[in-house]
Structure 1
Amino acid sequence: MTAATDAAPLPSPVPKARLASAGDAASPQALNLLSQALAKPARAAVTPPKPAVTALKSAVAAIRTQDYALGTRQALKALELCERWHLAWHVLAIAREKAGDLAPALTAYETALKLAVDEGPIARDLGRLAQRLGYLEIAEKLLLKALELSPDNSEASNNLACVLRDQQRYPEAVALLTACIERSPEIALYWNTLGTVLTDQGEMAQSLTFFDEALRLQPGDHKALYNRANARMALGEPREALADIDQAIPLCADAHETATMRMARALVLLLLGELEDGFDTYEVRFDPRMKDALAFATDSARWTPETDIEGRRLLVFGEQGLGDEVLFANVLPDAIRAVGPGGQLTVAVEHRLVPLFQRSFPEATVVRHRTVRHAGRLARVAALPAEAERPELHAPIGSLFRRFRRSLEDFPRTPFLAPDGEQVAHWRRTLDALGPEPKVGVLWKSLKLDGHRARYFSPFELWRPVLSTPGVRFVNLQYGDCAPELAEAAEQGFDLWTPELDLKDDLDGVAALTKALDLVIGPANATLNLAGAVGAPVWLIATPDHWPGFGSDGWPCYPSATAFPTDGFADWDGVMGRVAQALATRAGAARAA
């Protein structure tokens, strides 16, 4: 069993997962192979007693009927009778994987492979699960071993390409898939995976050709339909994306993949402004079959939209990334009014947000949360004061939207976070000392910028039209390592003033600084969310799949925000030109005033 450890903050649900890995350890074909092996147990390296064989046959039968709990119990029974029987470990791994118990499943697969090092199916199953859990180097080694045992196995080849893609080794992934397609052009799997390699690099329009070919070869391929939906979502075609997802979901028999597709469906609905259905469907993010689905460590009851919370003690958990915790916090004033003076609202947020949230919501008790990973599962714990009364109910903060944000008219018209007044005054004095020009904060990326996320942020060199605007003093708000971009700006003659402030960890100071600025421009990262929440003028550079637009042409959670949409996915030139033109007009008006 894995010890509890601090876990990294959870990411926002965008970008979306790709479905390309092949193989199902519990498919009829795979279970038939296990049954054939069970019919000849004497050929195993270890001869199991008859009761162990009987128990394992019952385990396989239970897995066929999707009774994974019974399958687990029967496989364990077989192992009690014959501990070194690799087949029993393999069946146990399959039952636990299908039940969503991924860490124990991984251990069982590893044990099975140690006992039968030349079993290709075990190596393939373990490699696929290792990839799903993010152990990419291990997955690569296992899949290479599987290919040594079965060089023409399409499942192993395809999944190896997926691992190379996830490691951002795109040329190698393309080369491997191209060779597979040349050898077997009729296999739809390869075309679908090649499409995901392209989408990973931001080549959404080109990827459609490959998803279409996969669907021509295998009509009703739910993976290709789902992946095409994600590409269409990114290209600004949400209705077409929704049609693909709605077609794909009934065709999928895998619970994990179904949950993944329902999550994508929720985001499309939210993008379209269909908030009631969208937020109800959005609850799938807590399905334990979702990767990194979050559970909440509390003995209180789970709140539902029908629950009357007046006079009750409600614990609200922040969730997902830092920007999401800020965005969803716009619902907290509604929750405070709903519990009323006779109730108690406790809010658990990322520790850097505690001072800002406590000042903003003095009627509530604000504490930090901690996320731990235990036995492969993520759980969030609230650091409640020892003397505090125990909560009666708990709710993830985004779930409150199911009750309080059913239409665009339900969103706030005023800022909901209150920066420290003295700090705001300090930053205004500091900024005034820089000169009379308007002070414009700029930021251009997120802290986490792997290949899958980088496509949501404009390359820094494309900021030249904006940074060339005369009559503006630019302020660097970019947290994390941005030394290369600042050096590039200096070489081009752009002066980005960097404040003496920890832009990553001092979020109370960042909130005050953004409030003191005349304008903040950037993508929807954590700092831009903070700026919008305190009511600073914000210009959002929005991608076509910016679902928190909720069907509007703005950013409803932040009334002070103006959205500048791109012309298409990763099509930055046009929007940067429009931002530059608007900024020049604003600066000209400031000079005239």
Structure 2
Amino acid sequence: ERLALQALDRADRLGVAGYVLGIARELTGDFAGSMRCYEAALKLLPNHGAVAGDLGRLAFRMDMPEIAAKFFMHYLQARPGDLEGVNNLACALRDLNRCEDAIEVLRPAINEHPAQPLLWNTLGTIMCSLGDGVTAVTFFDETLRLAPEFGKAYHNRAYAKIDLGDVEGALTDCELAISVAESAEDLATMKFGRATILLALGRVAEGWKEYEGRFSADLLEAPRFTIEGERWSPGMDLASKSLMICAEQGLGDEVMFANMLPDVIEALGPQGKLSIAVERRLVPLFQRSFPQITVTPHRTVSYEGRVYRGAPEIEDWSAIDLWTPMGTLLETFRPTVASFPNRLNFLVADPARVEHWRRELENAPTGPKVGLLWKSLKLNGERARQFSPFMLWRPVFETPGVTFVNLQYGDCSEEIALAREEFGVDIWQPPGIDLKQDLDDVAALCCAMDLIVGFSNATTNLGGACGAPIWMLTGASSWTRLGAQTYPWYPQTRCFITSDYNDWDPTMQKVGVALKARFPMA
């Protein structure tokens, strides 16, 4: 880095020096600075394929697949047919849910270079994104035949096996991956993967212990907490302490992990104090649910390729003895499935707004009101496979006498039109509510439903936490079930479990039959 800076001091338009500086800064973890150097170098060296390739690789590493794809295309213009470039472009297209395009990019390369394990591995990941675990395993098998110590292939095959319900096989593969990991980042990723596999197996205490790996400094996406004070760890006494909890992960996890807050309050005792930082949209709901604790919004920012989370509205930290990320408490308070209480709800929807929505629902067509959720806003290639194609909801929509209510946030116009045209069903749209932003009101709306049917997303979790009746559609080895056939976080939940992400039809048929039985000739 020092030599590159010296060269740029003497000749600021020396593209090669800027490129070297970008490499050096990436190696030190300064991803934003590295990106700026690469971009400046590419302007000076527009025909230098390696610069475009590194820009694409870094953008992909920073979870920017659309930008990455453009740079990989630039790279391939300079180096047509380059195997690394082809593979990288296919990975970016996969993460943009352009799986067919990704396959077409790989096809000629595999035909010409059938002994290249990297290509078979990427093809396997595309099959996983498409929900075709069986074919994915075949491609990972071929990868490992060609390269028996290819750690990422073992790791990827583990996830394909999870999709197929072979959790023990997934654990074996994950441990093999760990034994031959090629980098610290790969090792951290694999160890965290092992934690979720242990949870899926029902080895809950072990799983939560290893779940702490989500904070590894070697994980690019791991959050860094900008919080002062001593950090609590399992085994430390909480009695009479002042504890601050920072919620973490996605919004659904913030809600789900709050399952243990009543137990944390009890452990602190009458002399203890609890503060919690949650997503800003959740503050009113948590304040109502836990009037004895201090609720504040957390703030999350991205800086130089890293994610930082803090609680800036807490001004006086001197009164706080300990703080902890919320998930760290799970090892102590939820070490087994049996340790989950049979508690109908732990969050409390606004009673006045629940009554408001019951009155509003009287304006909908007659019959039981069934809220529907069919997707998540975060649908990259890996997550998309966990959701049934909308056309497979036909058995549900064929239930007579039921009024279906849209609880799905985001743009749903295409699906609502499809339901009308293909199934003859008008999905009722609740008036005057933003289903993505008005989370306190969403919780109340959920509690006004006769039933909610859907996949695990933010709204399903809100409804479950507030005690609404939930039918959860889930995969064979979803780790959040903790190895159970039920959903421990929300005991009123009924699970409909698919054995194969590539074939949701049998599961959706079962949901349709169950719905007709739940509301016979409604």
**Do these two structures clear the TM 0.5 threshold for a shared fold by scoring above it?**
yes
Cα offset, 1:251, TM superposition: 0.5
1: CA distance between counterparts of 2:73 and 2:63?
17
1:328 equivalenced with 2:257 (yes/no) = yes
Residues 14-93 of structure 1 aligned to structure 2 (within 5 Å):
75-76=1-2, 79-80=5-6, 83=9, 84=11, 92-93=21-22
1: CA distance between counterparts of 2:267 and 2:82?
59
1:173 equivalenced with 2:102 (yes/no) = yes
CA 116–511 in structure 1, closer or farther in 2 if over 3 Å, else same:
closer
RMSD: 2.5
Cα offset, 1:550, TM superposition: 0.3
TM-score, length basis structure 2 = 0.91
Residues 453-492 of structure 1 aligned to structure 2 (within 5 Å):
453-491=383-421, 492=423
2: CA distance between counterparts of 1:81 and 1:545?
55
CA 376–582 in structure 1, closer or farther in 2 if over 3 Å, else same:
same
Q: Which residue of 2 aligns with 1:299?
A: 228
Q: Which residue of 2 aligns with 1:420?
A: 350
> Secondary structure of the residue that 1:97 maps to in structure 2?
helix
CA contact (8 A) 1:456 1:570 kept: no
Q: Which residue of 2 aligns with 1:352?
A: 281
CA 104–442 in structure 1, closer or farther in 2 if over 3 Å, else same:
same
Q: Which residue of 2 aligns with 1:4?
A: none
Q: Which residue of 1 aligns with 2:307?
A: 378
What is the identity, as a one-letter code, of the residue corresponding to 2:173? D
Q: Which residue of 2 aligns with 1:516?
A: 448
Q: Which deviations, in whole Å up to 9, do the C-alpha atoms of 1:459-478 show, x marking residues without a partner?
A: 22221211211232322212
Higher deviation after alignment, 131-140 or 197-206: 131-140
Aligned match of 1:240 in 163, 169, 173? 169
CA 558–87 in structure 1, closer or farther in 2 if over 3 Å, else same:
same
CA 119–326 in structure 1, closer or farther in 2 if over 3 Å, else same:
same
CA contact (8 A) 1:521 1:539 kept: yes
Cα offset, 1:347, TM superposition: 1.0
Cα offset, 1:302, TM superposition: 1.8
2: CA distance between counterparts of 1:135 and 1:251?
28
What is the identity, as a one-letter code, of the residue corresponding to 2:58? L
**Percent identity at matched positions?**
47
CA 201–120 in structure 1, closer or farther in 2 if over 3 Å, else same:
same
CA 554–148 in structure 1, closer or farther in 2 if over 3 Å, else same:
same
Aligned match of 1:212 in 133, 138, 141? 141
Cα offset, 1:333, TM superposition: 1.2
Cα offset, 1:354, TM superposition: 0.7
> Secondary structure of the residue that 1:487 maps to in structure 2?
helix
CA 456–137 in structure 1, closer or farther in 2 if over 3 Å, else same:
closer
1:505 equivalenced with 2:434 (yes/no) = no
What is the identity, as a one-letter code, of the residue corresponding to 2:511? V
Q: Which residue of 1 aligns with 2:493?
A: 561
Q: Which deviations, in whole Å up to 9, do the C-alpha atoms of 1:363-395 show, x marking residues without a partner?
A: 111111121112222111214254675533221
CA 468–128 in structure 1, closer or farther in 2 if over 3 Å, else same:
same
1:547 equivalenced with 2:479 (yes/no) = yes
Cα offset, 1:148, TM superposition: 5.1
> Secondary structure of the residue that 2:157 maps to in structure 1?
helix
Q: Which residue of 1 aligns with 2:330?
A: 401
Structure 1 unaligned runs (5+)? Answer: 1-74
> Secondary structure of the residue that 2:509 maps to in structure 1?
helix
2: CA distance between counterparts of 1:245 and 1:96?
31
What is the identity, as a one-letter code, of the residue corresponding to 2:464? G
Q: How many residues align?
A: 516
Cα offset, 1:532, TM superposition: 0.8
2: CA distance between counterparts of 1:121 and 1:286?
32
Q: Which residue of 1 aligns with 2:507?
A: 575
CA contact (8 A) 1:100 1:289 kept: no
Higher deviation after alignment, 335-344 or 160-169: 160-169
What is the identity, as a one-letter code, of the residue corresponding to 1:585? A
What is the identity, as a one-letter code, of the residue corresponding to 2:459? T
CA 111–572 in structure 1, closer or farther in 2 if over 3 Å, else same:
same
Q: Which residue of 2 aligns with 1:495?
A: 426
CA 169–585 in structure 1, closer or farther in 2 if over 3 Å, else same:
closer
Higher deviation after alignment, 498-507 or 79-88: 79-88
What is the identity, as a one-letter code, of the residue corresponding to 2:157? R
Higher deviation after alignment, 156-165 or 578-587: 156-165
Cα offset, 1:446, TM superposition: 1.4
Cα offset, 1:541, TM superposition: 0.8
CA 303–203 in structure 1, closer or farther in 2 if over 3 Å, else same:
same
1:318 equivalenced with 2:247 (yes/no) = yes
CA 436–180 in structure 1, closer or farther in 2 if over 3 Å, else same:
closer
CA contact (8 A) 1:567 1:574 kept: no
CA contact (8 A) 2:130 2:502 kept: no
Cα offset, 1:80, TM superposition: 4.1
CA contact (8 A) 2:94 2:381 kept: no
Aligned match of 1:101 in 14, 30, 37? 30
2: CA distance between counterparts of 1:90 and 1:511?
51
CA 139–436 in structure 1, closer or farther in 2 if over 3 Å, else same:
closer
Higher deviation after alignment, 431-440 or 493-502: 431-440
1:273 equivalenced with 2:202 (yes/no) = yes
Cα offset, 1:92, TM superposition: 4.9
Aligned match of 2:375 in 432, 436, 445? 445
Q: Which deviations, in whole Å up to 9, do the C-alpha atoms of 1:172-222 show, x marking residues without a partner?
A: 322332211222221111111111222222222212221111111111211
1:538 equivalenced with 2:470 (yes/no) = yes
Cα offset, 1:435, TM superposition: 7.0
Cα offset, 1:77, TM superposition: 6.1
2: CA distance between counterparts of 1:94 and 1:277?
39
1: CA distance between counterparts of 2:100 and 2:378?
22
Cα offset, 1:551, TM superposition: 0.7
CA 512–262 in structure 1, closer or farther in 2 if over 3 Å, else same:
same
CA contact (8 A) 1:348 1:383 kept: no
CA 136–538 in structure 1, closer or farther in 2 if over 3 Å, else same:
closer
